Amino acid sequence: MMDAQRYLKYPVIAALPGGRLSPEALRAPIDVYFMLGGSIMDLSHRVTRLREGGRRVFVHIDLVEGLGRDTAAVDYLMRHVRPDGMISTKTDLLTHAKEVGLTTVQRIFLLDSLSYERGVNAARKLGPDMVEVMPGVMPRVIRELTRALPCPVIAGGLIRTRQDALEALEAGAVAISTSRQELWAKTV
């Protein structure tokens, strides 16, 4: 099991919708970035730019345009893009990502009790390095997940304010992921 506290030195992860690298994203005092999409055509360049700055980059493979949804896409990501890790909702892709040496983040969408149970069971079976729960504005559920899972939990989605971030962290999340630039400052 990974030591999330060492890996995530700062509890805010910059989520980059469409994989866009704005000047603000490049200047942000952030250690870890989630690339949420973009095109296969410029993904490698964007990941390289962030990594050259000492940042860790996770690519949400399900959202990248031009990549298939099979293990060959994971192999391509590993060989040609070289991110630190991969995010997905698909257990077969995450299983292969672990096999090729990528750090894995399993994204779980919680809509009801059934999706909670399925998500917990899938994460227990897969054993990802981290789980990202969405939406991340459910402190009680985050607290339950941190007790139910043997891996660190990241809260993402709908975190709009500093208070939302603090509540998720106080509930046991090791970090929050957000595209809100005002939350990227090291004051959370």
pLDDT of 1 over the 60 cut? no
pLDDT of 66 over the 90 cut? yes
What integer is the mean pLDDT of 70-77?
97
- Estimate the crossing angle of helix 139-148 against helix 162-170, to 10 degrees: 30
Q: What is the pLDDT of residues 24-34, one digit of tens each?
A: 999 999 999 99
- The CB density around residue 126, as the number of other CB atoms within 10 Å, is 16
Asked if residue 144 belongs to a domain, the reply is yes
Asked if residue 45 belongs to a domain, the reply is yes
Q: What is the amino acid identity at position 47?
A: V
Q: What are the b/e assignments for 129-149, b being 16+ CB within 10 Å?
A: bbbbbbbbbbbebbbbbbebb
Asked if residue 50 belongs to a domain, the reply is yes
Question: Residue 7's pLDDT band (boundaries 50, 70, 90)?
Answer: low
For every residue of 120-143, DSSP letters joined together read HHHHHHH--SEEEEES---HHHHH
What integer is the mean pLDDT of 79-108?
97
- What distance, in Å, lies between the first and last C-alpha atoms of the chain? 26
What pTM did the predictor assign?
0.95
What integer is the mean pLDDT of 143-163?
97
User: How, if at all, do strands 153-156 and 130-134 pair?
Assistant: parallel
Report percent pLDDT > 90 for the chain: 93
pLDDT at 10: 87
Copy the structure tokens of residue 83: 């991110």
pLDDT at 78: 97
Average pLDDT along the chain: 94
Q: What is the pLDDT of residues 105-121, one digit of tens each?
A: 999 999 999 999 999 99
Give me the CATH number covering residue 84. Answer: 3.20.20.70
Q: What's the structural domain count of the chain?
A: 1
pLDDT of 145 over the 90 cut? yes
Domain holding 19, by residue range, is 4-183
Asked if residue 188 belongs to a domain, the reply is no
pLDDT of 3 over the 80 cut? no
pLDDT of 187 over the 80 cut? no
Report percent pLDDT > 70 for the chain: 95
Asked if residue 107 belongs to a domain, the reply is yes
Q: What is the pLDDT of residues 40-50, one digit of tens each?
A: 999 999 999 99
